[in-house]
Amino acid sequence: MKKFTAIFLICQIVFLLAFPALASVATPADADILDEFEAASSSDAQMMYDSLMQYSNISLMSAGEVEDVETTIANLSKILVVYRYYDKNRKLHDIQGNLSSKGYFSFNTVPDDFAQSHSLIFWFTETRPPSGKYTVKFSFASNIGGSTYTKAYLWSSKAYTNATQLTGSVPMSLSQYSGDASGSCTIDIGSASSMCINLLSADMDFPYGGYFSLRFERLKDQSVEVDGVTSGGSYSSDNAAVDTAQSSAQIAQNTSDMNDTLKEIVQTISNQLAALWDQMFNLMHLPQLANDDKNTDRIVNSQNQSTNQIIENQNENTQEVTGAIEEHGNFIIEGLKSLFIPSDDFFKSYFDDLYNWFSTKFGFLTIPLDIFIQIVGVFTSSDRVDFVLVLPGFSIMDEQVWADQMFNLTEFLDENFAFILSPIHWATNIALTMAFVDLCRKKYDEVMRN
Amino acid sequence: MIVESVMNLFSSAIMLIFAWINIPDAPAELSQAVDQLIVYMKSGMGFLYIIFDMNFVKTMLPFVLIVANFEEVYKLVMFVLRKIPFLGIE
């Protein structure tokens, strides 16, 4: 029994000693794992955990074997830490945050769709050193403990304009103990666009956090071989030309942006100065402007009054001139009329006077003329004449037999037979009209037919 | 004024010419008889007023006179028109 127990312990020790040797060798299977990481980083990663466990190179060490790395990064807060996890549908999700200035981070809240952790990723693109060959070391002191990391590697990418980007990774040695981990590798940092360190672990339960430290040690002999090269290769003259061109373009772009910004600033300042000037001008000249306005109003009112007065005077003068012209015209016209046309009552008085003179001088010889004039007057008089029948009075031997008897037939007919007079007048008008037409016809025959 | 002066001159000439004539007036009985005749004529005009519309008659009378004396009226009008030179009527 003791022999069996001793053999078992020896086998176990041998087995445990063989693990670090296996973990320090990168195998082709590692490349497959990295490809899966890139796919997961892109979008839809598939199940990786099993494969990671299959190719893992775990190195379990004691507490004293986890190296405490002193950082060379001036500002650790520029390092972005990403906690990547699976949901129940085996899809990857990220939660992220920056390290503190002391390199601490902590993810306390469990996401609703959390199913299993995948990895911790530390992005240090902005804090990387210049191009060259370095020994990269990191350490992570977990504040919880208990996690096991399956792999650590340095991942980089190189982006090209209008082309796909290059990606690559360099495995790092990994030492860990109860969630604490450290690792290192040598690498040639070229012109990579972005760089990060990945720690793969499937049992990083929330809350999870700790202190992260990163150190770059530049190799004195830059000609030695290193574990790997970042994507895009080593820094060369081509990279320098491209970088110079890109830098020049970037500088030109920045200069243009700054120029635009300066123009906007100058324009804004100019507008503000103009507005300020207007305000100052108004403030300084407001009383004067008010007085100017008042004076202007007074002047305008005075001018309006003067203009109205002038217009009224002109109207009066025009009326006077017009009246004078009309008076002169009327005077001339009346003078001409009085010169050639006798007054209205001239002829009447003239002929009356002449008739009276002839009556006086010619005596009884004017009786026919009187009779003719009176007959014409009777006929042409506009006064209506009533038809009065007179029965003269009769007396014998100075004894009156009967007095004069008068009967007004016109009044009698108007009072009793007015409805007959109108038709009679209507009929006589027709008869007169017909007679006039007949007269015209006869006259036409007489004149035109000789 | 001119017309008045001409007519006054004419009447003055007439008066001057016939100033020497002084014929006595007619007897008063004759004058009364004439007046009575005029009264009867007015009464007769009253009878015409009953039968005829005298306004219509007075309106038609000038036209009747003109038509009835057309030749004389025509000659008078043409006599006047011939006196106007620019019309050129012979």
Q: Give the tens place of pLDDT for each residue, A258-295.
A: 999 999 999 999 999 999 998 888 888 888 878 888 88
Tens-digit pLDDT profile for residues A352-382? 898 888 888 888 888 888 888 888 887 777 6
Mean of all residue pLDDT scores within chain A: 82
With a cut of 70, say whether residue A37 has pLDDT above it. no
Q: How many CB atoms lie within 10 A of CB A152?
A: 27
Only one residue has tokens 């007679």, namely A435
CA proximity to A52, closest of A142, A165, A139, A171: A171
What value does the mean pLDDT take over residues A165-175? 90
Chain B, residues 61-90, CB within 8 A of chain A, namely 63-64, 67-68, 70-71
3-state secondary structure string across A1-38: CHHHHHHHHHHHHHHHHHHHHHHCCCCHHHHHHHHHHH
With a cut of 80, say whether residue A47 has pLDDT above it. no
Contact A362 B43 (CB under 8 A): no
**A31: pLDDT confidence band, cut at 50, 70 and 90?**
very low
ipTM above 0.85, yes or no: no
Chain B environment of A386 (Cβ under 8 Å): 46, 49
**Better pLDDT: A144 or A427:** A427
The most confident of the ranges A89-93, A340-344, A404-408 is A89-93
Whether chain B has a CB inside 8 Å of the CB on A432: the answer is yes
What value does the mean pLDDT take over residues A219-232? 87
* Beta-sheet pairing, A104-107 with A149-160: unpaired
Chain A, residues 378-417, CB within 8 A of chain B, namely 378-380, 384-390, 409-410, 413
With a cut of 50, say whether residue A201 has pLDDT above it. yes
The identity of residue A449, as a single letter, is: R
What are A354's two structure tokens?
């002449």
Tens-digit pLDDT profile for residues A407-433? 888 888 888 888 888 899 999 999 999
The model's pTM: 0.38
Q: What is the structure's pLDDT at A292?
A: 84
Spatial separation of the C-alpha atoms in residues A171 and A153, rounded to whole Å: 4
Give which of A433, A443, A444, A446 to mutate to test B binding, by max B Cβ within 10 Å: A443
